[in-house]
Structures are given as structure tokens and as C-alpha cells.
Amino acid sequence: MASISADVVAAANAKSRRLRELLRAPKILVMPGAHDVLSAMLFESLGFPAIQGSSGGIAAVYGLRDDELLGRERTAEIYREMAAAVSVPVNADGERGFGGPEAMAETVRQFVAAGVAGMNLEDSASHEPGTPMNLVPMEAMLAKIRAIMEAKRALGSEFFLNARVDALGAVKDVRDGIDEAIRRGNAYAEAGADCIFIFRPPDAAGIARLVREIRAPVSILATPDSPSVPELEALGVARVSYGVAFTRAAVTAMTRLAQELLGAGNPAPILREIISHPDLQKLLRSRG
């Protein structure tokens, strides 16, 4: 594993420590999903204390599905640009880690060098959109986590690991996956994960059980049916993110303007609603 300068590791460690502080605070940590530098800068300007990268959003910017199609090096470079553009911690979406356990050291090295605070790591394999997820054997995920812990030690890194549990996405009824999610979540936490990230969360009662029985901070990827942020906080959820929802919202807004131009051709009401050109310029940097 190639070395990283002590200054770069120290800067990344400061961001990792800040992310842990936010996760462990009494207030729930809400992390919006950035898909590029502009969205990351916008979220920081609005007051979010930390930013989650959206692998689905980033892939969509390049016209690709969310399936590690950009590759590790290009993904790390995108996160380097995001992290350099904001002062708050950025947590990367590492998807499946871009390989098996033997690849984790290089994945961690590239993300630490990019200046991010940590990454998500999911425990399902590639699958077709709209089909049930394919869970990898728990031991395979644990082998990756152990490799990440070893890579951190070798670098002197405090890299944050958000271990995603996809057990609820592998079943037709999410209630059938809660026991497995708890089993996996506790195993990942024991192996060193900082947070357990639940994909396709259940209802409030199910979320409360996950929080109660998983021995680590619990994060959820919210859906339209999820409880509100205050309700999630009351349930004990430590962190909530919204994944590709922000990218979808942006596409929706662009579609609305485009359809108006193709149809009635009167965009004035929409143009009066959107951010002004001067306000956009205030958000942007004056140099690269």
C-alpha cells in the first residue's frame, strides 16, 4: 500500500473525528446526498454539518447506473474535489469497496488521500434494478471490515466506516429481514464499524427495535414512508440520509422547466421561483 503524507492523514483524521462527534451527539445527524461539487457546496451553505456522497447520484451525473461503474480511481477523484470544496466532513459512498478483502487497503488509502472522513460499505452483490438484493455471506463482509481496520492501522488513520446492512432489501416483506439485519449489524459493529446503516428501513416499530438491539449507532436511508426527522430522532436513530433523492429532485426540477418550454412555452413563473443568478454566483468560488 502506497504511503500518504502525515499532513494529509492528519487532515482526514480531523474530519473523521468531527463526523464521529456529530454521530454521537444527542441531535440526529441529517446528511444530504451530494452528487457533485456544486451540490456539496450548496448543502454546506445551507448549514448541514456533514455531507454524504451519493453513489447513485454521482453515477447518474455521468449517465450511469449505480453499480461501481465509474471505478475506484475516478470515484476517489470526484470525492477529492467535493472534500476540497467544503469545510465540513464528507462521507464517501464506497459501494461494495471496489473488490474483495484484498482490495480494501487500496480503497481506504485512496479515500483517505482524497480527504474524506470515511465511507459506506454495503453487504450485497450486484443485482438488476427492481429485483431483490443478493446478500453476500456475512463472513465475506466481515473479511472486508477486518481488512479496512488493518488498513487504518497501517496508515495511522481514523477513517469512519458506515457498514450498510441490506438484509431488508433482500426480502419481500421487510419484517422478515429484521432478525438478520440485527445479527449482521452487531457482527459488523463488533468488527469495528462505527455505524450500522439500514437500507429499506421498516416502520417506526421496526426501526425502534433495530435501534434497541443493534449495539452501535444506527443510520437509515429514508424512504417516502419513513418517519419524519424529529420522529426518527425520538426513536433513537443516530443518523439519516436520503441517498439519490436530491439528484432525483434536481432532475424533476429540470424536467419541469424543460416540459414547460416544450409545451406552453411560458417559463416565467418557474424562472421567478428558482435561485437568482447573483445568488448562484455568491455560492460559487472565484477560482479553482
Provide the pLDDT for residue 128.
83
The contacts of residue 25 (CB under 8 Å, 6+ apart) are none
Please state the length of the chain.
288
> ∠ at Cα 57 (53, 59), nearest 5°?
105
Q: Quote the pLDDT of residue 288.
A: 78
pLDDT level of residue 101 (50, 70, 90 thresholds): very high
Which pTM does this prediction carry? 0.96
- What are the phi and psi torsion angles at 271 (to 5°)? -65, -30
What mean pLDDT is predicted for residues 184-209? Answer: 98
User: Can you tell me the mean pLDDT for 259-279?
Assistant: 97
Quickly tell me which residue has 456544486 as its cell: 38
Q: What is the pLDDT of residues 132-180, one digit of tens each?
A: 899 999 999 999 999 999 999 999 999 999 999 999 999 999 999 999 9
pLDDT score for 2 = 75
pLDDT number for residue 87: 98
* Mean pLDDT over each residue of the chain, to the nearest integer: 97
C-alpha cell at position 100: 474483495
Q: What is the CA angle 214-217-222, rounded to 5? A: 95
Phi and psi dihedrals of 278, rounded to 5?
-60, -40
Between 3 and 124, where is the model more confident? Answer: 124
| 3-class secondary structure, 26 | coil
Residue 68 CA to residue 75 CA, distance in Å, equals 9
Q: Which three cell numbers stand for residue 213?
A: 438491539
Domain ranges across the chain: 6-243, 246-288
In percent, how much of the chain has pLDDT > 90? 95
For the domain made up of 6-243, the CATH class stated in words is: alpha beta
pLDDT of residue 3: 84
